[in-house]
Amino acid sequence: MTQARDYLVVDELTKHFGGLAAVEKLSFSLDRGQILGLIGPNGAGKTTVFNLITGFLPATSGRVTFRGESLMGKKPHQIVNQGLARTFQLVKPFPELSLSDNIRVACYGPRFMSQGLDEEAARHRILEVAEQVGLPDDLDQPASSLGHGDLRLLDIARALMVQPELLLLDEPLSGLSSIETQAIVGLIQALNQEGITLLIIEHKLKELMKVADRIVAIDFGQKLAAGTPQEVVNHPAVVEAYLGTKDSYASA
């Protein structure tokens, strides 16, 4: 097996959009089996970090390594096939496809196909994943008929279909009711128990602090603090960046 430490390493990662430094010499690392939270105010560069790690954007400079292997210059689909899946901040369903077809698309990547699984096995796995994330029973309905909370579940289901080792979730709780939030928090814990390592961007700090082993806080693309949830949340730079008292964001 691969080493547990430094499972994912982000090293001096930098992304400039013209004159804007969206991510600036950002370094952090993640151990296998951990849940790492990534926080920061709006526009801090969190989603950009995800896009850099997953190959959706080329980095200006710096490195990302996963299991000791560099991800730089790799295409998004190649990175997924190394076992690193993601969801999107704005849910990205295929609105006109049925729920099961939405998930089925992920069966047709090499990671799934190389296992020599047939349609029957795919169907089985689709039902399994749909049930695990808690999608509605009727998988024949089009994705366009789902509400926001279920679309988040669908996005996660699609990501799980590639059987990731490392899962990146971009604000999985945003726009959800408290019941839906609890369900996804439970799901995150269950996935982690199964051995999936997670990197989670989340504004709802209270929930994030429940699940995260460590948290990295960034602003203006730079690291403000890193450590245990308590350490980070009480860090003066973090408090200042959120322009409030500890109470106001811890209850956000």
Partner 1 sequence: MLANLKTPAQRHTAIFYGLIMVGFYFVPVFSDNFYLLSVFTTAYFYIIFATSWDVFAGYSHLMNFGHALFIGIAGYLTAFVDLHLGLPPLLVLPMCAVVCGLLGMFIGYLTLRMQGPYFAIITMAFAAVAYESAIMFSEYTGGEEGIPGIHPLTDSLIGDYYFVLVVMSLIFLFLLWFTRGRWGLVLKAISQNEDAVLASGINTAWVKIRAYSISGALCGIGGSVYAYSLTHVGPTSMEQVLSTTILIMAMVGGMGTITGPFLGALILVLFNELSRDMEEYRLLIYTVMVVVIIFFAPRGIVSWGQPIARAFKLGGKRGQAGS
For partner 1, the binding residues (CB under 8 A) are 54, 56, 75-78, 80-81, 85-88, 92-97, 101-102, 104-112, 155, 158-159, 161-162
Helix or strand holding residue 208 (H, E): helix 205-211
110 vs 147 by CB, closer to partner 1: 110
What's the rounded Cα separation, in Å, for the pair 78 and 109?
10
Find the angle CA(177)-CA(45)-CA(181) to the nearest 5 degrees. Answer: 15
Name which of Mg ion, partner 1, ligand ATP, none residue 32 binds, using a CB cut-off of 5 to 8 Å depending on partner kind.
none
Kindly indicate which of the ranges 82-90, 139-147, 215-223, 229-237 contains the residues binding Mg ion, using the contact rule CB under 5 A. 82-90
Helix or strand holding residue 184 (H, E): helix 178-193
User: Helix, strand, or coil here: 137?
Assistant: coil
Contact pattern from residue 52 through residue 91 relative to ligand ATP, giving x for each residue in contact according to CB under 6 A and a dash for the rest: -------------------------------------x--
Q: Which of residues 85-114 bind Mg ion (CB under 5 A)?
A: 89
Running DSSP on this structure, what letter comes out for residue 228? S
Among 196, 168, 18, 199, residue whose Cα is nearest residue 88? 168
41 vs 164 by CB, closer to partner 1: 164
Q: Which of 32, 46, 104, 111 binds ligand ATP (CB under 6 A)?
A: 46
| Interaction of residue 175 with ligand ATP, rule CB under 6 A | no
Among 15, 65, 9, 8, residue whose Cα is nearest residue 220? 15
Q: Which of 2, 3, 12, 43 binds ligand ATP (CB under 6 A)?
A: 43
| Nearest distance from C-beta of residue 196 to partner 1, angstroms | 16
Q: Which of 47, 54, 87, 197 binds ligand ATP (CB under 6 A)?
A: 47
59 vs 143 by CB, closer to partner 1: 143
| Interaction of residue 199 with ligand ATP, rule CB under 6 A | no
Q: Strands (DSSP E) along the chain, which ranges?
A: 8-17, 20-30, 35-39, 61-66, 69-70, 84-86, 166-170, 197-201, 214-219, 222-227
Name which of ligand ATP, Mg ion, partner 1, none residue 56 binds, using a CB cut-off of 5 to 8 Å depending on partner kind.
partner 1
Q: Which amino acid appears at position 218 of this protein?
A: I
Q: Answer yes or no: are the C-beta atoms of 176 and 149 closer than 8 Å.
A: yes
Q: Answer yes or no: are the C-beta atoms of 221 and 22 closer than 8 Å.
A: yes
Binding site for ligand ATP (CB under 6 A): 17, 20, 22, 40, 42-48, 89
